Structure 1
Amino acid sequence: MVRHDTFTISRHLDVLPGEVFTAFADSTIRQRWFRLPGSGASYEHDFRVGGGETARSTFTGLDTAPERLEYRSRYIDIAGTHRIVYGYEAVVDDDLRWTSLVTVQLDPEADGTRLHWTEQVAFVRYTEDGSADLAHLRGGCVLRLNGLDAALRSGHPRQHRR
């Protein structure tokens, strides 16, 4: 049985939408905030409609065997500097765990950008009863967006006032 969920995370960023967009588009900046957990990570990124990203790493948790992680995405829509839509797959040890459709919307605000991250996920394999999977995915997105904010602040240390 496939389990479906949707969530949205909104946050303010202290830079203009074009700078946030560049943090998604520029592979060098992107690797500062988009990371798979674990070691031996590799990344390939082609930011264009029809392009995508592949990332791989090996994660070893406490008292667990190493897991091979893989992330595969494809960009579906890139609308100027205000919207990015892409789909991705999360694979653990060669088993598809979930797939998602993500919409990132970047709206200008007087003092920066309002980012809206909406993710529609289909869990095809659960962890135990599946009750913690959405919280795990949402928490990972929050951590990733924290990394985005840090990467943007490191490029503009005087602009960040929070």
Structure 2
Amino acid sequence: MSNQDTAPRQPADGLDVRHETFTISRRLDAPPPAVFAAFADTALRRRWFKLPGSGATYHHEFGVGGGESAQSTFTVLDAPPEHLDYRSRYLDIVPNRRIVYVYESTVNDVLRWTSLVTVLLADDAESTHLTWTEQVAFLARTGDGSADLPHLRGGTALRLNGLAAALQPPTRPAPSAHVRD
């Protein structure tokens, strides 16, 4: 497949927008305040929310009306680098319970999609049941567009795997055994 077949393209008339919704649920081994902190605290957030590629920059302001911006350059074998740009804005925050935000994703200055995301955090016996619902409007497709939703859903699932890992306490190396003669 050539780069031309996979390059993002916007429909000529601007009317061909595809809307999708997906939900991912996870049980996380941390109480809701710890999960909420992983979204709110920038240092914790950097442990699990990352753009692929190199040279990434981030700015995060957690609060209604605030948001996040991130940029990076993603390179794959036999393809020109892609310049990624992510921008979000928080619309609603209920501490330890709910985060609602919108974001846009741009690749090489082409707005690919924009989404409304609702993250719900429910108590689940000293853990958290996280429900991530994303309503997306695909504005530019890769090829015929059939891989766009699986790509976004898969990337979100990987990001939530990173969230689960970031919530785990750091492991300490096992003490070394000393042998005496």
Give the shorter-chain TM-score range: over 0.9
Q: Decide which of 7, 11, 15 is 2:30's aligned counterpart.
A: 15
The equivalences for 1:86-125 within 5 A come to: 86-125=101-140
Residue 141 in structure 1 maps to residue 156 in structure 2: yes
For 1:65 and 1:102, how far apart are their aligned partners in 2? 30
The gaps in structure 2 that reach 5 residues or longer are 1-15, 173-181
Amino acid of the structure 1 residue aligned with 2:103: Y
For 1:155 and 1:70, how far apart are their aligned partners in 2? 31
For 2:129 and 2:44, how far apart are their aligned partners in 1? 19
Q: Which has the larger radius of gyration?
A: 2
Q: Decide which of 40, 47, 50 is 2:55's aligned counterpart.
A: 40
Amino acid of the structure 1 residue aligned with 2:31: L
Shift of 1:154: 3.4
Residue 68 in structure 1 maps to residue 83 in structure 2: yes
Amino acid of the structure 2 residue aligned with 1:90: S
CA offset digits 1:21-72 (Å, max 9, x no partner): 0000000000010000000000000000000000000000121100100000
TM-score by length of 2: 0.85
For 2:140 and 2:155, how far apart are their aligned partners in 1? 17
For 2:114 and 2:84, how far apart are their aligned partners in 1? 14
Amino acid of the structure 1 residue aligned with 2:26: R
- What do you get for the CA RMSD once the two structures are aligned? 1.2
Amino acid of the structure 1 residue aligned with 2:46: Q
* SS of residue in 2 equivalent to 1:44: strand
The gaps in structure 1 that reach 5 residues or longer are 158-162
Query: What's the counterpart of residue 67 of structure 2?
Result: 52
TM-score by length of 1: 0.95
Count of paired positions: 157
Q: Decide which of 77, 84, 89 is 2:99's aligned counterpart.
A: 84
* SS of residue in 2 equivalent to 1:11: strand
* SS of residue in 2 equivalent to 1:111: coil
CA offset digits 1:89-110 (Å, max 9, x no partner): 0000111000000000000001
